[in-house]
Amino acid sequence: MEITTSPYLLAALFCLVAFMYSSVGLGGGSSYTALLIVFGFSALTIPMITLSLNLCVTSIGSYNFIRNRHARLKLILPFLISSIPMAYLGGALKLPKHIFHWVLLISLIFVALRIYLWEDATIKLKLTQQRKVVISLIAGSILGLIAGIAGIGGGIYLVPLIIILGLGSKKEAAACGAIFIWLNSLAGLISRFQYNTIDLTNYIPLIIAVLIGGALGSYMGSFRFAPKTMEKMLGLIVILAIIFLLKKVLAF
C-alpha cells in the first residue's frame, strides 16, 4: 500500500536528489529507492521506477560530461562489456523484500563512508594496461549484477572505485559513472519489462522533476562546482536517506 502524500512534495524531493547525484555523475537510484520504500511503494514497482528515473537523469548527465570532454572510452569500455549482460541477468532475479532493503541500505552507507571518511583515499597500483582491463571486467560484472538486482544503476559503486584505484580523475569518474548507469539501467529495465509492466504515465511528475534536477546538477558538476563541494552536499542527502530507510528496515 502506497502512503498518500502530496505529489508535489515527492517531486520536489526527487528533483533535489537528482540535482545532488547528477552533479557527481550518479543517477540517484539509491535515494529514489529509499524514498519510495519510505513512502510505501511496492517492492515490485520500485526498481522499475528508479531505473526509469536513472535513465532520465544520466542521459542528460552523460551529454554534459561528454560535451565537456571528461568521458574516456578507454576507461569505461571494459566495465560496460561485462556489466551490461550481468545487469540484464540481475533484472530477471527477484529478491525477498527484506534482502532488497538491506542491499540498498548497505549501498547508501558505503557512499556516506566514501564521502566523509575515505574522501581522499586512493590506492597507487602499478598495473599494466592488461591488468587494468581484467580488474575492470571483473568489477563491471559484479557491479552490473548488483545494479540489475537492486535497480540502482551501479554507478554508486563505480565512481568511488575508479577514484580509489586511481584509474581516473573525479571528473572522469563522474562521466564514466553517468554513462555506466545509463546503459546498465537500460539493460536492467529491458529485462524487468519482460516479466512485469508498469504505467509510467502515473509517474510523469517524478520524471519531470528528475529531468530538471538532473540537468541543473550535471551542468553545475561538469562546468561550475568543484567535485568536493558537490560531494559534501550529496552526503547530506545520503545520510537523511540512511536514517529514514533504517527506521523502515528496523520496523519489520
Q: What is the sign of the dihedral through the CA atoms of 161, 33, 196 and 56? A: negative
CB 31 within 8 A of CB 228: no
In-domain check, residue 244? yes
Q: Each residue of 197-231: pLDDT tens digit?
A: 777 777 888 888 988 988 888 777 666 656 566 66
In a domain, 2, yes or no: no
CB 237 within 8 A of CB 16: yes
pTM above 0.85, yes or no: no
In a domain, 172, yes or no: yes
pLDDT value, residue 125: 60
In a domain, 72, yes or no: yes
Residues in the chain with pLDDT values less than 50: 1-4
As a three-state string, the secondary structure of the chain is CCCCCCHHHHHHHHHHHHHHHHCCCCCCHHHHHHHHHHCCCCCCCHHHHHHHHHHHHHHHHHHHHHHCCCCCHHHHHHHHHHHHHHHHHHHCCCCCHHHHHHHHHHHHHHHHHHHHCCCCCCCCCCCCHHHHHHHHHHHHHHHHHHHHHHCCCCHHHHHHHHHHCCCCCHHHHHHHHHHHHHHHHHHHHHHHHCCCCCCHHHHHHHHHHHHHHHHHHHHHHHHHCCHHHHHHHHHHHHHHHHHHHHHHHHCC
In a domain, 12, yes or no: yes
pLDDT of 3: 43
Q: Which residues contact 230 (CB under 8 A, 6 or more apart)?
A: 20, 23, 24, 217, 220, 221
CA dist 188 and 181 (Å) reads 10
How many domains are there within the chain?
A: 1
Whether residue 132 is contained in a domain is answered as yes
Name the residue range of residue 187's domain.
7-250
Domain assignment of residue 80, yes or no = yes
pLDDT, tens digit, 9 for 90 and up, residues 9-18: 888 888 988 8
